[in-house]
Structure 1
C-alpha cells in the first residue's frame, strides 16, 4: 500500500496561481501569534482544533496548499491531508519565511480568518 502523496510547490508558482485567481485552499499551520503577525492573504490558520471544520467545509477537488515556517512540518501535514481525500495537496517549499522574504508586499496581518 502506498502512502497518500502530496507535491512540493515553490513560492513563485504559488504567486502565479494567486495572481491568476486559481481556486485554492490555503492553510497555515504555524502558531496563532505568528499567523496574526503575518500570513499569506486569504489563508486560514489551521491547528488541531480547526481540522474538523476544514474536513467538513473544504472542497476536496480544490488544490490545497499547506504553509508552515520553512517548508518542513507542512510536508507531514500535507501527507496527512492527502490521506483525508484531498485530490491535490501541496507543501510550500521554503514556507512563510521564503514567501515573506520574496513578497513582503503580499503579507497580510491580523487575526486568523476562516476557522
Structure 2
C-alpha cells in the first residue's frame, strides 16, 4: 500500500533524495510561512505552493531541486507546476520531516 501511495504522489526513494542533497540540491518547503516557521529542513527556503508558479525563475539553473511539505500532496503539486514550466530535476521529497531525517543522516 505504501509503495502505491509513494508512486501516486511521485515521491522518490530515500537514496535519490540523499544523493540530491549531497550534490547541493535546492531544498524548497512549499508549506505556508506559518508552517515553515514552526520547523523545516536546515538550509531550506520557503516558497509556498500558491507562489510556486509566480516564482519559477528562482528554480531555473538549479542543479537539483527537492520539494516537500507536510504530507507530500502540496510538494507533488509543486513538482507538476515546475515541470509544466520546463524545470527539470525536481524530486518530490514528501514530508519535510522525512527530508530532514535524510539530511541529518548524511
Determine if the TM-score, normalized by the shorter chain, exceeds 0.5. Answer: yes
Which residue matches 1:45?
46
Question: Does 1:98 find its partner at 2:98?
Answer: yes
Tell me which of 6, 9, 13 is aligned to 2:12.
9
TM-score normalised by structure 1 residue count: 0.63
Change (3 A) 1:88 1:13: closer
Q: Max radius of gyration: which structure?
A: 1
Query: 1:24-64 CA deviation, whole Å, 9 max, x = no partner?
Result: 11111111122112111111100234654x42233345211
Q: Higher relative contact order by CA 8 Å / sep ≥ 6: 1 or 2? A: 1
Q: Please give the secondary structure, in 2, of the residue aligned with 1:33.
A: helix
Any gaps of 5 or more consecutive residues in structure 2?
Answer: 1-8
How many residue pairs are counted as aligned between the two chains?
A: 95
Look up the SS of the partner of 1:34 in the other structure: helix
Q: TM-score, normalised on structure 2?
A: 0.68
Q: Please report the RMSD computed on the Cα atoms of aligned residues, expressed in angstroms.
A: 2.8
| Higher fraction of helix | 2
Where in structure 1 are there 5+ consecutive unaligned residues? 1-5, 107-115
**Structure 1 residues 36, 10: closer, same or farther in 2, change over 3 A?**
farther
